[in-house]
Amino acid sequence: MERTSGDWQDAATAITFSGQSVIDGKSVDGLSGKTFASKSPIDGRHLPDVALCDAGDVDRAVASGRRAFEAGVWSGTTPADRKRVMRCLADLIRTQRDEVALLETLDMGKPIGDSTSIDVRAVANCFDYYGAAIDKIYDEIAPTARNAIALVTREPLGVVAAVVPWNFSMLMATWKVAPALAAGNSVVLKPAEQSSLTAIRLVELALGAGVPPGVFNVVTGTGPDVGRAPGLHMDVDGIFFTCSTPVGRIFMEYSARSNLKKIGLELGGKSANIILSSYRDTAHAARTSAHSAFFNQGEMCTCPSRLIVERTIHHEVVETLLEVARDYAPGDPLDPSTSMGALVDHRHTKRGMDFIRTAERDGATIRTGGRQVREDTGGCYVEPVVLTDVTNDMTIAREEVFGPVLSVIAVDDMDKAVRVANDTPFGLASAVWTDDLTTAHKVSAGIRAGLVYVNCYDCDDLTVPFGGFKQSGIGRERSLHALDRYTELKTTWIALG
Ligand code: NAD
């Protein structure tokens, strides 16, 4: 039976959890003994203090990962063995679904219904996917002349670090950790300081599933300390992170200034979503677009924050957006009927409010929302916003808000829509709504983005690559392509007499 709001409140009061890092299979404080306070954006309640680690702790974790790698306790096991452990981890996560989901909701404020049905399910499926895949992938023999055999084999990188944000804390970590572990690497994970709790739990569950100590470590702390340290570390072979574009640039520097470690970036977005009059069900397109923009409080790298609409259907689209926005009135994240929860913290809330005020000053019209609400709870809640009269040169159309703010930009035709869609430094996701096959192909071919949805948004599957063009990133996550990031190709040329 599904839990009620009261059940979740009780569970939130009773839950016990750790704020310690996990290094070499043990829960530990940072070397300095310092901690930082962790507060829930739901109502400001105190969560456990979290270990404030530093570069010395990262050294410990990397050394532990290296020892495990060299000893072959994981890297030297068969793919079938790794598969068994990873699938066991997936099952453990499913068994503990409610507890893990509750941690995610308390830590970063998303609705509990989303944490249980989307985040935890997707995390378990991801460990299953890479576990199941890894003993089905063959290496190659190159088509050389007959006097040689050239083997092309994949080898794990060694010790890799993953640095992740808070919006899907556990899932963003898993998109990296699952393929990295499947390939035989050791991993050091650094969660965002706003949401460390599920990362800690994930490593505890991995140990319980049989991942040997040292193979998967979590080091908590701030970006400039614990994020920077693996970036500059001479014994980290690869660093993979999901974060904002400005921090992504810093990571490129870390790699360049240290050992040229392999690098993967999943960065920000300002996704364009084009609704054309050639789509027969304007209201459906508008409804889906609004749901996608407000899902997860708009704290989505793929958030379709720029809705580009043909002028002839602008009025109908906006009326539908306003209707949907009403369904996203922020509510208690522990109530299963809530569709919009809390933003991650007060700083991020202020940043979002500043963007809304700037948009107004620049000439955009607030059609609904844009106020802070539920302030008496001590939490961080903002009503979803629909802005019209937006032009693509306004700050609101150029910078990533990472909140529930949807800007509508009116255009005359398809060509103009594509020009506006591409007029951004980002290139993560995009969409076009049309019933005309030729238009669909032309627009999808014309848009410079890693994901183009046609007549849908945020359709999701582990089997397809995820990542961005332009300043939205380097490389791809998900699908079998992700394994390329965590492996090196080795050629072994055997001369045959
Ligand atoms: P952020 O860039 O502030 O922080 C992300 C991570 O980097 C955190 O763990 C943080 O501690 C660390 N960090 C920050 N400064 C650092 C530094 N100087 N050195 C090393 N590490 C540092 O991002 P955020 O606010 O946590 O997350 C939101 C951003 O993440 C948005 O821009 C969003 O688009 C992006 N994101 C991208 C994807 C994707 O797949 N493309 C997915 C989710 C989020």
Above 90 in pLDDT, residue 247? yes
3-class SS letters over the chain: CCCCHHHHHHHHHHCCCCCCEEECCEEECCCCCCEEEEECCCCCCEEEEEECCCHHHHHHHHHHHHHHHHHCCCCCCCHHHHHHHHHHHHHHHHHCHHHHHHHHHHHHCCCHHHHHHHHHHHHHHHHHHHHHHHCCCCCEECCCCCCEEEEEEEEECCEEEEECCCCCHHHHHHHHHHHHHHCCCEEEEECCCCCCHHHHHHHHHHHHHCCCCCCEEECCCCHHHHHHHHHHCCCCCEEEEECCHHHHHHHHHHHHHCCCCEEEEECCCCCEEEECCCCCCHHHHHHHHHHHHHHHHHCCCCCCCEEEEEHHHHHHHHHHHHHHHHHCCCCCCCCCCCCCCCCCCHHHHHHHHHHHHHHHHHCCEEEECCCEECHHHCCCEECCEEEECCCCCCHHHHCCCCCCEEEEEEECCHHHHHHHHHCCCCCCEEEEECCCHHHHHHHHHHCCCCEEEECCCCCCCCCCCECCCHHHEECCECCCCHHHHCEEEEEEEEECC
User: Alpha-carbon distance 386 to 397, whole Å?
Assistant: 13
Q: Which pair of structure tokens corresponds to residue 334?
A: 């522990």
Catalytic residue status for 266: yes
Above 80 in pLDDT, residue 124? yes
**Span 428-448, mean pLDDT?**
98
**Span 454-483, mean pLDDT?**
97
Q: Give yes or no: residues 282 and 370 share one domain.
A: yes
Above 90 in pLDDT, residue 460? no
The domain total for the chain is 2
Distance 223 CA to ligand 1 centre (A): 9
Domain housing 354: 272-461
Q: Give yes or no: residues 260 and 339 share one domain.
A: no
Q: Give yes or no: residues 194 and 331 share one domain.
A: no
Pocket of ligand 1 contains residue 244 by CB under 6 Å:
yes
**Span 118-130, mean pLDDT?**
98
Q: Give yes or no: residues 341 and 379 share one domain.
A: yes
**Span 284-306, mean pLDDT?**
98
Q: Give yes or no: residues 302 and 437 share one domain.
A: yes
Mutate to test the pocket of ligand 1, among 166, 190, 198, 243 (most ligand atoms within 8 A of CB): 243
pLDDT of residue 2: 84
Above 80 in pLDDT, residue 397? yes
Q: Give yes or no: residues 42 and 101 share one domain.
A: yes
Q: pLDDT digit string (tens) for 413-423? A: 999 999 999 99
Instruction: State the burial class of residue 406 (Cβ atoms within 10 Å of its Cβ: 0-12, 13-18, 19+).
Output: buried
Q: Give yes or no: residues 23 and 155 share one domain.
A: yes
Mutate to test the pocket of ligand 1, among 118, 193, 244 (most ligand atoms within 8 A of CB): 244
Distance 482 CA to ligand 1 centre (A): 19
Q: Which pair of structure tokens corresponds to residue 10?
A: 């009780």
Residue 343 lies in a domain: yes
Residue 466 lies in a domain: no
What's the mean per-residue pLDDT of the chain? 97
User: Alpha-carbon distance 338 to 116, whole Å?
Assistant: 13
Nearest in space to 28 (alpha carbons), one of 218, 201, 283: 218
Q: Give yes or no: residues 359 and 259 share one domain.
A: no
Residue nearest to atom 26 of ligand 1 (CA): 165
Residue nearest to atom 8 of ligand 1 (CA): 192
> How many CB atoms lie under 10 A from the CB of residue 199?
28
Above 80 in pLDDT, residue 197? yes
Q: Give yes or no: residues 247 and 306 share one domain.
A: no
Nearest in space to 353 (alpha carbons), one of 321, 334, 375, 327: 375
**Span 394-416, mean pLDDT?**
98
Q: Give yes or no: residues 231 and 286 share one domain.
A: no
Q: Specify the pTM.
A: 0.97
368 and 384 Cβ atoms separated by less than 8 Å: yes
Distance 249 CA to ligand 1 centre (A): 11
**Span 24-32, mean pLDDT?**
98
Residue nearest to atom 9 of ligand 1 (CA): 192
Residue 496 lies in a domain: no
Q: pLDDT digit string (tens) for 133-159? A: 999 999 999 999 999 999 999 999 999
pLDDT of residue 1: 74
Q: Give yes or no: residues 228 and 278 share one domain.
A: no
**Span 200-217, mean pLDDT?**
98
Q: Give yes or no: residues 292 and 312 share one domain.
A: yes
User: Alpha-carbon distance 339 to 355, whole Å?
Assistant: 23
Distance 242 CA to ligand 1 centre (A): 6
Q: How confident is the model at residue 497 (pLDDT cuts 50, 70, 90)?
A: confident
Strand partners, 385: 405
Pocket of ligand 1 contains residue 193 by CB under 6 Å:
yes
